Structure 1
Amino acid sequence: MMTHSDLPLTRDLVLVGGGHSHALVLRMWGMAPLAGVRLTVINPGPTAPYSGMLPGFVAGHYPREALDIDLVQLARFAGARLVLGSATAINPQTKQIHLPGRPAIAYDVASVDIGITSDMPALAGFGEHARPAKPLGAFATAWEAFRDGTGPARIACIGGGVAGVELILAMAHALRQQNRLAQATLIDAGAALSALGPRSIARLQKALRAQQVTVLENAPLAEVTATGLRLQDGREIASDFTVGAAGARPYDWLRDTGLTHHEGALVVTDRLQTSDPDIFASGDCAHMAFAPRPKAGVFAVRQAPVLFHNLRAALSGGRMRRYRPQADYLKLISMGSKTALADRGSRSYAGPLLWHLKDRIDRRFMAKFAALPVMAPPALPQPHAKGLADALGDKPLCGGCGSKVGRGSLRHGIGAHAGAARDDVTPLPGDDAAQLRTGEVTQVLSTDHLRAFTNDPFTMTRISAQHALNDIWAMGAQPQAATLTLILPRQSPALLQRQLAEIMAAADQEMAAAGVAIVGGHTSIGAELTVGFTLTGLCDRAPITLSGARPGDHLILTKPIGSGTILAAEMSGQARGRWVAGALETMCQSQRKAAQILAEEAHAMTDVTGFGLLGHLQGLCAASGLGAQIRFEAVPKLRGAAELAIAGVRSSLFAENAALLPQIQATGARALLFDPQTSGGLLACVAPEQSEMLLTRLRAQGYRAAEIGVMRGPGDGIILRDPPSPPPR
């Protein structure tokens, strides 16, 4: 039976922004995808904060994790690629979306849901000394850092609308709970809370007095300073943390799209289409000219089903639906403590029960994104051959080095065929690259390819390039030339051209930075994207091999471990988006400068990839005829990797790696020692007296480098030194 994944891709749908409408669209798409569509979502970060829970987070009622919609997990569920970056332009003529640091992303149909910003560039000093309330993510991060500080705190909020009142009440409550609130001020150029009825205004004014918030109305500002704010009448307000919640507006670049806009917001029809029918918009960045409404998250949520239907219709030629917004809606406004106000029309109520109602509504909304199904292995057909279940394993095949053949299989399968056929070629067993001698010149040669573990071909190519380059760096060589080998999934010629353009832009960028010329390559069509590089390099000194380590050498590792565990968890929806984004960023990090620093002093060196840290250390020990002692607590680990390992997450290559050293118990976080790495760090043996100097230089270049152990004498094997057990209580 043919599935969606067996069919070629013919249309690109790009969602710009991870707002509430798009988050719901992604969830609905995962349950009912449209065959032939390649779905992309572009967002500045791996999560999207939910505005409804922001005041509760600010007040301390919710942890940060409760505030964020995890777009990495959501994109995996929807079968979408997530591009981390901020869109800066849309060109309807070329059908391209531009963002910094990578080639433009082409679309057939696009949708914009990027929210609005509370930045106030016209107010002197705002950019340097204040925080806009929107975008929410940056504000939440800044507030969390300030809230976790110590000492008396003075706070101020610019803007006396509902959003500003909610924020100042929440901030004041949080600081009062810590006995830190010294001063709280709400400032508005006009009348505060003018959009509400008199009963609601009176209740919120009472709450402001209870939280010791001073309200300054009809008080236009002149400047934000490092110590507070200065009003136009000369008064100065002290503030250690100033937030702007007034005059929220669409992002400036939307005006430059050529699309019809209203005060910067994209004008949409009742089908949520802009003046270009191939571009849709929703949420706060859209203006419903057919039925104008105030900016509120409730409209974005209710637009989502119509947007989902109409995007599918635009891509498949179906009939579209109309969106009809309600005339009014219930406003539930947090009041700092676990009390809320309900306002609708002329009616107004307040009390703890309303906060619990709001809490229940918000949690129910967020539960939609927390209840995504965990991917399970496909059922085996009946009947099937003996051994099929064992060969398939109990988990999906991980990407990256998790799809590499294990060391045991390699030894038995090709070990007898690894000898050189020429005297001028030296394929030293286990080394990272073969040596080719031409007169007095030594050239190294290596090849590597990776099966895609991210749907973003640009990021995938960057990681594949660094992964391949590491073999050359580990030999102390300077990369010289590369050929590129690609297996591309079935797709229309137009989509194939787009994907190739992104791949080649990434390949050119990474190889040019390494001083490498791409001199050729090969492409073919297959089931999934695979990116590989074959590289040559030149040595201006004797190559660094595995065999030069000396007893007493310190072991330096230049990157944290755990990428295999995080990739395995991401495939099954168990990894947090921030962990995945951090792992991808680390895998993109070049080891060029690290290799240049270490090559001056390293006695032996390798890169840590598919066999895991201890597997590659075992190869180094075998070649040098030595043992080693590792301090597990000193080994740097990717954020989230230890938590996932303790929870039992394992890459598909883990078991074969762990079998290489059965004397070391690979349980809990220690399983990371056998975790297959993609574009991992360099592992170098250096003289003890050089270790600290090298670490200082590596860290100055941005590497999370650490001294993780020491080489020991022959026959000692590999010893794992555990941290001391905590004393009994």
Structure 2
Amino acid sequence: MQTEPLPLVQDIVLIGGGHAHALVLRMWAMDPIPGLRLTLIDPNPIAPYTGMLPGHIAGHYRRDEIMIDLVRLARFAGARLILDRATGIDTATRRIHLANRPPLRFDIASVDIGIGSGLPGLPGFTDHAAAAKPLGDYAQRWEAFLTTAPSSPALTLIGAGIGGVELALASAHRLRMTGRTPRITLLERADSALPNIGPRARATLLNRLAAEGIALRTATTATAIGPDHVILSDGTRLASDFTLSIAGTQPQGWLTETGLSLHDGFLAVGPTLQTSDPAIFAAGDCAHLSHAPRPKAGVYAVRAAPILLHNLRALATGQPLRPFHPQRDYLKLVSLGGKEAVADKFGLRSGGRALWWLKDRIDRAFMAKFDTYPQMPRPLPDPAPLGLIEAMGPKPLCGGCGAKVGPGALAATLATLPKPSRSDVIAGAGDDAAILRHGQGAQVITTDHLRASCADARLMARITAIHAMGDIWAMGAAPQAALVQITLPRLSPALQSDMLAEIMEEAASLFTAEGAAIIGGHSSIGAELTIGFTLTGLTDQPITKGGARPGDALLLTKPLGSGTLMAADMALARLPKDLLGPHVAAAWAAMSRPQGKAARLLAPHAHAMTDITGFGLAGHLLEMMEASATAATIDLAALPLLPGAEALAAQGIASTIAPANHAATAARLTAPDTARTALLFDPQTAGPLLAALPPDQAKATLAALHAIGEPATIIGHVTEGPPHLTAR
């Protein structure tokens, strides 16, 4: 008996990628509940692990070693990832407000957004200082500072708690390792530093500060910050090349407007981690444990994660919730700059290199949870029909253009179609869009459908609309009208309405911006989300793939590599000494960039134009060469590539359709066997425009594109000869 996928009926939305939520996502992946949709909202594709930040500042850990890749984690958990910042919660309408897109509905929500340590009310702070939290921004600023720091840099750190002392020692160590002589000052408004640690550990840390030459000024505050100085409350002007605040725990301001109960600005939660609204939970530093107040420390977020997961699941399924009982104290392992640490618990102290080894082991064990994920089994019948395993291939089917039928099979089928017999059909299949006679000009028509490559329906609608308009733009036409075809997965009526609204709103905004209108369409229910658009466009003179002339410059408007990055995303791939998430986010941003403005600059000069989509640059460029009876030479080094694409291609990662693309072009291609060559066969969803321009117009057009922010590149030239592509 064939089983159907269960409909999604509730939305559980995690606001923030903090430690508790990261663990919830990982545990959810191991035992999901069908019918519940999990969503993660965070403005960044990665989230730093607090425990390893001082080690990163000191130079002991690379950036990728201290970051949780939220893109990979969300994919592993089967969660929808929305890269945006939450700005509010409307408890009455069950909507989460976002900075850059319309509100998002939820049934159950959880907040784990961390805290800030900035001092926005301090004059000059926003322009001239950094905050230790959010951690990601601080780590990035620190790395930038290291590249420009003078030989004897002055640093001022505001806040002499454990975090401030640890970061002062880490900064001193890193600067000394780069051959610099640091001058570091720690400021503390209280009469003494390190109030939340035992006396023996406190003495060790103060002695280490003195040994490192780090000045400690207590009963002192900063009153203003300049680009190279800090003004103190006693009037002292302190030189400062890098100013950092670790001065406190600042809740995010928008929490005050939610109507939820707060404690000093933090979300007040009870034993079950529920806020004053039972459908909204909170964990981590943004939460105040009303039943058991504790200091802000990552250990409590980690310990709360299993209870939070249980209670989210329990509330969604009508089961009893459990209380969270945090431990009374915890082992504090404070690094001393170099690979040494001091430990404190219940006032007891010990220290040395062995404790650094222990801290390093604990931290690496935590991060290992988000490094390599267990491979989920692919269900197969037993016995399996002959040929089934080969047909399935070694990896999951890609989405977007990676799921297209290969060029060989498609060309064979199209060759059997009869030629158009109507006089008003000027050209049928073969170009980017069919051309119909329309008054004194022409109407072009095309259709495109994409299997979803991510769980964010609004993002997929945007990418698909841009992808479909690519054929219209490539013909030098202006989009006119659109028909929408949508296959939704099985959803409850409320979720179905939400998803339809997301898709239609996003598509309508893009088409309207290009002067086109949605005039109808069709919807259905299926196994997975698929979005398609049939579009018409108008032009006085269509630009076809034919017409390229020897000597023409070949101009590409966007970087390549999106197919490889989407394949890596679906395969949960890893990069050596790098993070996948930011590269996937960059690919989403590239695919989300409309090409209308670029097309309008190219059209008046292009001899031929096409858009690079499912058959890759090699396939679509050879189509242009065949239509123009010319050849082409491209410079592989000049190819613009999305970050991470070449490294992934070197690992052998490729989209589902890439082998078929290679097979269709191999006989007419001369190129070295390199990772860059492999990306010539990479399918591009919402890919770049490729134009053949006369040489006297190419540079001026390129400059005009750069002037409007388009990352266009000249990649080669059209040459004489039979259709052939040479890549060097």
Band of TM-score, shorter chain: over 0.9
Q: CA deviation at 1:405?
A: 1.1
For 2:105 and 2:2, the matched residues in 1 are separated by: 28
The equivalent of 1:725 in structure 2 is none
The equivalent of 1:168 in structure 2 is 168
1:201 aligns with 2:205: no
Helix, strand or coil: the match of 1:199?
helix
Q: Is the 8 A contact 1:375 1:573 kept in 2?
A: no
1:656 aligns with 2:660: yes
The 1:422–1:285 alpha-carbon spacing in structure 2 relative to 1, beyond 3 Å, is same
Q: CA deviation at 1:666?
A: 5.2
The equivalent of 1:626 in structure 2 is 630
Q: CA deviation at 1:446?
A: 1.0
Q: CA deviation at 1:377?
A: 4.6
Helix, strand or coil: the match of 1:52?
helix
The equivalent of 1:563 in structure 2 is 562
Question: Counterpart of 1:552 in structure 2: which amino acid?
Answer: G
Alignment of 1:484-633 (within 5 A): 484-539=484-539, 541-575=540-574, 576-633=580-637
Q: Is the 8 A contact 2:230 2:237 kept in 1?
A: yes
Q: Is the 8 A contact 1:621 1:628 kept in 2?
A: yes
For 2:592 and 2:212, the matched residues in 1 are separated by: 48
Helix, strand or coil: the match of 2:13?
strand
The 1:350–1:279 alpha-carbon spacing in structure 2 relative to 1, beyond 3 Å, is same
Question: Counterpart of 2:43 in structure 1: which amino acid?
Answer: P
Q: CA deviation at 1:151?
A: 2.9
Question: Counterpart of 2:655 in structure 1: which amino acid?
Answer: S
Range moving further from structure 2, 476-485 or 53-62: 476-485
For 1:559 and 1:181, the matched residues in 2 are separated by: 45
The 1:670–1:524 alpha-carbon spacing in structure 2 relative to 1, beyond 3 Å, is same
Helix, strand or coil: the match of 2:476?
coil
1:669 aligns with 2:670: no
Helix, strand or coil: the match of 1:166?
helix
For 1:514 and 1:354, the matched residues in 2 are separated by: 62
1:390-422 alpha-carbon deviations (Å, 9 max, x no partner) = 322222111010111111111111222162231
The equivalent of 1:309 in structure 2 is 310
For 1:483 and 1:716, the matched residues in 2 are separated by: 36
1:332-353 alpha-carbon deviations (Å, 9 max, x no partner) = 1111111111011221122111
Helix, strand or coil: the match of 1:483?
strand
For 1:601 and 1:272, the matched residues in 2 are separated by: 63
Alignment of 1:225-304 (within 5 A): 225-304=226-305
Helix, strand or coil: the match of 2:531?
strand
Q: Is the 8 A contact 1:565 1:644 kept in 2?
A: yes
The equivalent of 1:727 in structure 2 is none
The equivalent of 2:24 in structure 1 is 25
Question: Counterpart of 2:645 in structure 1: which amino acid?
Answer: A
Q: Is the 8 A contact 1:89 1:253 kept in 2?
A: yes
The 1:446–1:429 alpha-carbon spacing in structure 2 relative to 1, beyond 3 Å, is closer
Q: CA deviation at 1:148?
A: 3.0
Tell me, which stretches of 5 or more residues in structure 2 are unaligned?
575-579
Alignment of 1:383-532 (within 5 A): 383-384=384-385, 386-417=386-417, 419-532=419-532
Q: Is the 8 A contact 2:619 2:661 kept in 1?
A: yes
For 2:454 and 2:404, the matched residues in 1 are separated by: 16
Question: Counterpart of 1:74 in structure 2: which amino acid?
Answer: L
Q: CA deviation at 1:441?
A: 2.4
Helix, strand or coil: the match of 2:114?
coil
1:691 aligns with 2:698: yes
How many percent of aligned residue pairs carry the same amino acid? 52
For 1:375 and 1:141, the matched residues in 2 are separated by: 34
For 2:181 and 2:40, the matched residues in 1 are separated by: 41
Q: CA deviation at 1:429?
A: 4.8
For 1:323 and 1:455, the matched residues in 2 are separated by: 32
The equivalent of 2:577 in structure 1 is none
Question: Counterpart of 1:626 in structure 2: which amino acid?
Answer: T
For 2:422 and 2:235, the matched residues in 1 are separated by: 86
Q: What CA RMSD, in Å, does the superposition of the two structures yield over aligned residues?
A: 1.5
Q: Is the 8 A contact 2:260 2:267 kept in 1?
A: yes
Q: CA deviation at 1:581?
A: 0.6
Match of 1:637 among 627, 634, 641: 641
Q: Is the 8 A contact 1:643 1:669 kept in 2?
A: no
1:38 aligns with 2:30: no
Q: Is the 8 A contact 1:102 1:505 kept in 2?
A: no
Q: Is the 8 A contact 1:90 1:97 kept in 2?
A: yes
Q: Is the 8 A contact 1:154 1:181 kept in 2?
A: no
Q: Is the 8 A contact 2:447 2:534 kept in 1?
A: yes
Question: Counterpart of 1:522 in structure 2: which amino acid?
Answer: H
Q: CA deviation at 1:690?
A: 1.9
Range moving further from structure 2, 165-174 or 193-202: 193-202
Question: Counterpart of 1:208 in structure 2: which amino acid?
Answer: L
For 1:488 and 1:614, the matched residues in 2 are separated by: 33
Give the structure-1-normalised TM-score.
Answer: 0.96
For 1:467 and 1:154, the matched residues in 2 are separated by: 51
1:89 aligns with 2:88: yes
Q: Is the 8 A contact 1:375 1:572 kept in 2?
A: no
Q: CA deviation at 1:150?
A: 4.8
Q: CA deviation at 1:430?
A: 2.5
Question: Counterpart of 1:646 in structure 2: which amino acid?
Answer: A
For 1:484 and 1:491, the matched residues in 2 are separated by: 19
Q: CA deviation at 1:239?
A: 1.1
Task: Give the length in aligned residue pairs.
Answer: 718
Range moving further from structure 2, 479-488 or 667-676: 667-676
1:255-287 alpha-carbon deviations (Å, 9 max, x no partner) = 111010101111101010001110000000000
Helix, strand or coil: the match of 2:532?
strand
1:518-546 alpha-carbon deviations (Å, 9 max, x no partner) = 1111110011001111111111x311111
Question: Counterpart of 2:147 in structure 1: which amino acid?
Answer: D
The equivalent of 1:113 in structure 2 is 112
Question: Counterpart of 2:221 in structure 1: which amino acid?
Answer: P
Helix, strand or coil: the match of 1:417?
coil
For 1:323 and 1:393, the matched residues in 2 are separated by: 46
Q: CA deviation at 1:380?
A: 4.8
Question: Counterpart of 2:585 in structure 1: which amino acid?
Answer: A
Q: Is the 8 A contact 2:626 2:723 kept in 1?
A: no
Q: CA deviation at 1:180?
A: 2.1
Tell me, which stretches of 5 or more residues in structure 1 are unaligned?
722-729
1:563-599 alpha-carbon deviations (Å, 9 max, x no partner) = 1111111111005111111111100011111111111
The equivalent of 1:339 in structure 2 is 340
The equivalent of 1:349 in structure 2 is 350
Q: CA deviation at 1:13?
A: 0.4
Question: Counterpart of 1:543 in structure 2: which amino acid?
Answer: P
For 2:365 and 2:340, the matched residues in 1 are separated by: 19
1:67 aligns with 2:66: yes
The 1:34–1:18 alpha-carbon spacing in structure 2 relative to 1, beyond 3 Å, is same
For 1:454 and 1:608, the matched residues in 2 are separated by: 21
Question: Counterpart of 2:698 in structure 1: which amino acid?
Answer: S
1:633-689 alpha-carbon deviations (Å, 9 max, x no partner) = 111111111011000011110111001222446553321000111000000101122
